[in-house]
Amino acid sequence: MPDSLQPSLQQRLEERLRYYEELGIRLFYRDRAPGSAVLSRPAPDVAARPEPAAGFAQPPSSKSNPDAPPSPAARFESPITSPRTSLFEAADKIHDDTLLNIQRDIGPDCTRCKLHKARNTIVFGDGSATARLVFVGEGPGADEDAQGLPFVGRAGKLLTQMIEAMGLQRKDVYICNVVKCRPPENRTPEPDEMQTCGEFLYRQLLAIRPKAICALGSTAAKALLGTKDGVMRLRGKWHQWRDIPVMVTYHPSYLLRPYNQNAKKEAWDDLKKVLHFVYD
């Protein structure tokens, strides 16, 4: 390796070790070189499962695995009414859908909602079209709007570290957002904007058919689960979008705030449950 690259590599390794130290990670889920087999993994955490949030019709937990997601037969009943239902129906009518078809349908100059007025780039999604795990965030920020890729700014760097702490790489998963265009000043997407982009998000999820979805933050949780509950009440337990299990956890931008550092451990607990379900 050229000497000019060594400081950068050392800095990256030090940052990675600090991140793992903050999470309290001592054992890594996958200890491998690229292309090699998995060498070792610790046993899954089977601590008592938290009670479901009020209003969530969850089936009984499995006796053998209290952290198991709800069975596919027990669908989550969203309280969202006709507008959301019509989007479900529209997505369901498209058979043999692909991410390429969805991206073509959005087009390079989408003007379906007012978010197009200030955006530079439509941020569609990134990762594997056959991913077993999909991360859904809120919407693009300034860096994402400039590069056309989701989660590439400070929050994106942290999400990448979280994914790598799971023993995975970004190319192994799929990452997208509820809305595809950056909201002005990074404000929360408004209901009509979420509804307009909702059809494309649903089509992405139906085309990929992942084994699980990880909703990052309250906006993603609301879009998928139709709930008004916050992340703190939703996280740590399995929910369901259609027949796909959903785990809600903190958005990486929340974890970057100095007064939220304790939440990193909770986010890691959520990701461990996802990892054991998706890859065991």
Residue 10's pLDDT band (boundaries 50, 70, 90)? low
* CATH code for the domain of 274: 3.40.470.10
- pLDDT top residue among 116 and 67: 116
Task: Classify residue 219: in a domain, yes or no.
Answer: yes
Q: Three-state SS for 179?
A: coil
Domain count, the chain: 1
Task: Classify residue 35: in a domain, yes or no.
Answer: no
pTM recorded for the entire structure: 0.74
Task: Classify residue 57: in a domain, yes or no.
Answer: no
Residue 82's pLDDT band (boundaries 50, 70, 90)? very low
Residue 167's domain comprises 81-279
- What would the mean pLDDT of 130-148 be, rounded to a whole number? 98
The partner residues of 248 in beta bridges, in order of sequence, read: 215
Task: For residue range 201-244, list pLDDT tens digits in order.
Answer: 999 999 999 999 999 999 999 999 999 999 999 999 999 999 99
Q: CA angle at residue 60 from 57 to 66, to 5 degrees?
A: 120
Task: Classify residue 177: in a domain, yes or no.
Answer: yes
Task: Classify residue 31: in a domain, yes or no.
Answer: no
Q: Tell the residue number behind the tokens 């008592």, with chain if given.
A: 48
The three-state DSSP-derived secondary structure of 191-225 is HHHHHHHHHHHHHHHHHHCCCEEEEECHHHHHHHH
Task: Classify residue 68: in a domain, yes or no.
Answer: no
